[in-house]
Every structure is written in structure tokens, then in C-alpha cells.
Amino acid sequence: MYVDVHTHLTHARFENDYEAVIANAKKVGVEAIIVNGLEPKSNRQTLDLAKRFDNIYPALGIYPIEAIHPMVKDLDLTKSDFDVDQEIAFIEENARQDKIIAIGECGLDGYWVGQETFAEQERVFIELIEIGKRYDKPIIIHTRKLEKRAMEILAHHDAKRVNFHCYCGKVKWAIDAAENYNWYFSIPANARNNEAFGKMLQKLPAENILTETDAPYLAPVRGERNEPANVVGTVAYLAELRGISTDQAKTLVSDNFRRLFKF
């Protein structure tokens, strides 16, 4: 089967046709779509989608910028207003009840904000890592400009089940993390247009590669709305780069997904 381990079907750009988008994904063989939450509203929408569609699996998280929303109100980076610790408790309760497939997305962001926010970002990140460990759930990582630091924290806290979504750090670091910690990396649907993503498909250990879309973002055609069905193209590209058949590439990614998410 095809898999999309990171998407945002709760985004406003899917408001009018998310049912058709989900059906289209299933039509081309995408049997597992992990919808990632970012804050209370999308976390709850994600749980609702998973109740309604048999190829949707929920991951609950707190996006790094949302984790520090009281500190960035003047920057207009988020419209959220919620108690972060209450949301951490909500995520933990759903993990405890085995209602979610993963924790995420969560992590660190140094692109939009400065180091005065890093301590609080790390606090929330560590809390979510520990929930993943306690309830044996994979952790789906967002990190931008702080890839090395995120890896240091994950290693220090002995996180075993990890997937880096849309990883944009040095490819060498990704290869080292896959080889030394058995962490996974999901490659977006715009891989043909991104040299680093192509290099990761080619050079990462084969058993550590997954596919994602980050829909509605990172479409194969710049400017278009992305959707889960587009993982098909990433698998085809993986097959080309590795010199294997498309069926072999699809089985490879599917097996990796089943192993990490205990599917």
C-alpha cells in the first residue's frame, strides 16, 4: 500500500472537498494517511476525521510556534490562545487510551523566532517526547534551522521511534541518525524539485525511508494544492533512483511504515 505519514487535511484549503480528497487517495492505493495536529482545534478535528474514515489515522501534537504562542503574539505568527500544559495532558490521555497512532507534529523552530523562545520550545518538545516513550508511540518531528539540536534532545532522551518530517538539515546528519539511531525520514511529494530530498531518497538506508505530503503544502507542482494521492509520485521517484521496480519501492515504504508505526 501507499502511505502518507504527514498531512494536514484539517487545513482550511480542504474545507469544501476533504471527503473527495480522501476518496481519491484511497482510489490510487493510499491506505494509510496520518493527519497531524498542531494545536487544540486541529487535534480535535484530526480525531474526528479518524472516526469517520478508515484510511485516516490521527497524530496529536503541538507545533513549535503554537507551543510558544503567548511569546509571539506581537509577531502575528499564530491566532491560537490555549493552555499549553492542558493540551499536553489531552494528548497524553489520548495516547494512554490508544486513540492515536503517533505524537506529532512537534519539535523546534528557529526560522520564525529567536533563541529567547528556545527554552520553552524545548520544554514542550521534551514533554511530548516523554509521552511518546511512555505509551510507545512514534514521534513525528518538525524542525527548522534547529535540526542538530532536535537530534541532540532526542538522543539524550533515548527516543527510539522517531520520524523526521520534511527534514531540511544536512543530509549527512540524516544518514548518521538513520544508521546510528534507526530514526526515519519522510520525504515530501516535491522531491523531484528538491535536490536534498532526492539525495535522501537515494542515500538514506532504504529501511528508514517513508513518504509524506505535508498537504496542502509542498505539492509536486509549485503553487498547487498538495494532497495525499501525490505520494504515488514520490514512490515512483524512489524506484527510479534506486533502480528497482515501483512495486518494490511501494513494498519497501509500506514495510517501513508498518515497522515504525506497528501497523
pLDDT in tens, 20-75: 999 999 999 999 999 999 999 999 999 999 999 999 999 999 999 999 999 998 78
Q: What is the average pLDDT score of the chain?
A: 97
Phi, psi angles (nearest 5°) of residue 117: -100, -10
Alpha-carbon 100 to chain mean position: 14
Reported as a single tens digit per residue, the pLDDT across 1-27 is 999 999 999 999 999 999 999 999 999
Cβ count near 158 (within 10 Å): 9
As for how many domains the chain has, the answer is: 1
Average confidence (pLDDT) over 180-195: 98
Q: What is the sign of the dihedral through the CA atoms of 80, 82, 97 and 45?
A: negative
> With contact defined as beta carbons under 8 Å apart, do 61 and 37 qualify?
yes
For residue 187, the domain's CATH number is 3.20.20.140
pLDDT at 126: 98
> The whole model's pTM is what?
0.97
Separation of alpha carbons 185 and 19, rounded Å:
28
Tell me: cis bond preceding 220? Omega within 30 of 0 counts.
Answer: no
Separation of alpha carbons 27 and 49, rounded Å:
18
pLDDT at 77: 87
Average confidence (pLDDT) over 220-237: 97
> With contact defined as beta carbons under 8 Å apart, do 49 and 62 qualify?
no
Cβ count near 136 (within 10 Å): 11
> With contact defined as beta carbons under 8 Å apart, do 84 and 120 qualify?
no
| Non-local CB neighbours of 225 within 8 Å, separated by 6+ positions | 13, 215, 216, 219
Average confidence (pLDDT) over 154-182: 98
Q: How confident is the model at residue 93 (pLDDT cuts 50, 70, 90)?
A: very high
Q: How confident is the model at residue 143 (pLDDT cuts 50, 70, 90)?
A: very high
Phi, psi angles (nearest 5°) of residue 37: -90, 160
Reported as a single tens digit per residue, the pLDDT across 232-250 is 999 999 999 999 999 999 9
Average confidence (pLDDT) over 109-134: 97
Average confidence (pLDDT) over 187-207: 98
Range of the domain at 44: 2-261
